[in-house]
Amino acid sequence: MIQKTPPMGWNTWNTFGHEINEELIRTTADTMVSSGLLEAGYNYLVIDDCWALKQRDPQTGRLVADPEKFPSGMKAVADYVHSKGLKFGMYSCCGTLTCAGYPSSFDYEFVDAETFASWGVDFLKYDHCYKPDTVPSDLLYRKMGMALANCGRDILFSACSWGVNQTHEWIKSTGAHMWRSTGDITDCWQKIKEIYDLNVPLQPYNGQGCFNDMDMMVVGMHGQGLVGVTGCTDEEYRTHFSIWAMLNSPLMIGCDIRKMDAATKEILMNKDVIAINQDAAGRQPFRASTYGCDTWVKFLEGGDIAILIVNPYEDACRGTLHLTDIGLDVASGRALKARDLWTGNDLGIIKDELLFPSIDAHSCKFLRCSIVER
C-alpha cells in the first residue's frame, strides 16, 4: 500500500475525547455523506482513544470494545461506516497503556493487527504514550508496521510519535504512511503558529509514501470540545487550513461536523484549496521569501504553481514574490496568470513581482498560477 496523497477524514479526539459511542459514529458517518464532506475527499472516519474495555479478553488476549459505548460491536460499526462509502479508522498505542490509560498494543502488535483487520479497520492511529524507556521508539513502530503489513488487510498506518527521538530520520523505514511531527494541537492561534514553525525545517522529509502530520485540524471548533482553548476567528481558521493544505499535511477534521456553520463548511470544502493538498505530483513546497510575510511555492502536476503568502505574525506585513526567485526572469519570456483560491478573483498577469502591500496578522493569500508568455 503506497499513500500517494495526504489522507483526509475526521477524528473523534479534538471534540469528544472519551465521550464517544456508537450513535456518535453512526450520525457522524451520515453527516460526512449528507454535508458533502465525503464528496470533497474526506473519506476516513477515525475513532481515537477510549473505545475499549480496561482489560483484554482473558481467553484470547484480544482487545474488546466497550459494550456500553459500542453495543453492536466494532465489526458492525465498521460495516455501517463502510456502507456509507467511508473508510473506518481506530486507535492504539506503542506503550504499555494508551494515553487515556486503556490497553495498548505493546507486545500484542500482531494479535491486535489481526483483530483490527477482522473488524474491517482501514486506518490505525498509533500513539506514543507510556513507552518503556528501555525500548527505542523506532523499534516499536517497525514492529507494528510489520504486523499491519502481514494482517491480511490494507490498513493505513498513522504513526503518532509526536516528532520525538528524531522521528523524521527513521519513520519511513517503519512502513508508516503519515507521522505526527509535533505535540498535540489546541484551538488557539498560538498553537497553530507553533506547529507551523516546527514543521518548516521538516519539509524535506515530507512527501508521497509518508506525509508529515501536523495534527488534526481545529477549524470550526470555536473554543469548544476537548482541545478548545480561546478558539480562533474564521480568518485564522482559513489561514490554518491553507497552511495544512500547502504543506501537504493530512487533512483530518476535529470539529463536530454535525454542527458546522456556513463559514466552517466554506473553509473545509474549498475544492481549490483541497486540490493543492491532493495534487497528484505530491511535491513539497519551498519557502521562496521571508521578507515580510512568509511566501511558499509549490510546483503542481501539469505545470501550474501554487503560491501561499502567509502572515503568522502579530502585525500586518508586506507579502511579496519576485518572479526571478522561482526562475521566471525576463530571459525566460514567461509570466504568471494568477487566481485567488479564497475569493475566486482573477488577479491578471504578473510579470515581475507579486505584491500585496499589507496582509493582516494571521491572514494569508493563496493563489494558483499558470505560466504564460509575457
Which residues are part of the catalytic machinery? 127, 184
- Which residues are paired to 37 by β-bridges? none
* Contact in structure between 44 and 86 (CB atoms under 8 Å): yes
Residue 49's CB is within 10 A of a number of other CB atoms, namely 23
78/59 Cα distance (integer angstroms): 24
Cell triple for residue 152?
Answer: 491480511
Give the side-chain half-sphere CA count within 13 A for 119.
Answer: 28
Three-state SS letters, the chain: CCCCCCCEEEECHHHHCCCCCHHHHHHHHHHHHHCCHHHHCCCEEECCCCCECCCCCCCCCCCCECCCCCCCCHHHHHHHHHHCCCEEEEEEECCCECCCCCECCCCCHHHHHHHHHHHCCCEEEEECCCCCCCCCHHHHHHHHHHHHHCCCCCCEEEECCCCCCCHHHHHHHHCCCEEECCCCCCECHHHHHHHHHHHHHHHHHCECCEEEECCCCCCCCCCCCCCECCCCCHHHHHHHHHHHHHCCCCEEECCCHHHCCHHHHHHHCCHHHHHHHCCCCCCCCEEEECCCCEEEEEECCCCCEEEEEECCCCCCEEEEEEHHHHCCCHHHCEEEEEEECCCCCEEEEECCEEEEEEECCCCEEEEEEEEEEC
Q: Cα Rg for the chain, rounded, in angstroms?
A: 21
Query: Which residues does 265 contact at the CB level (< 8 Å), separation at least 6?
Result: 35, 36
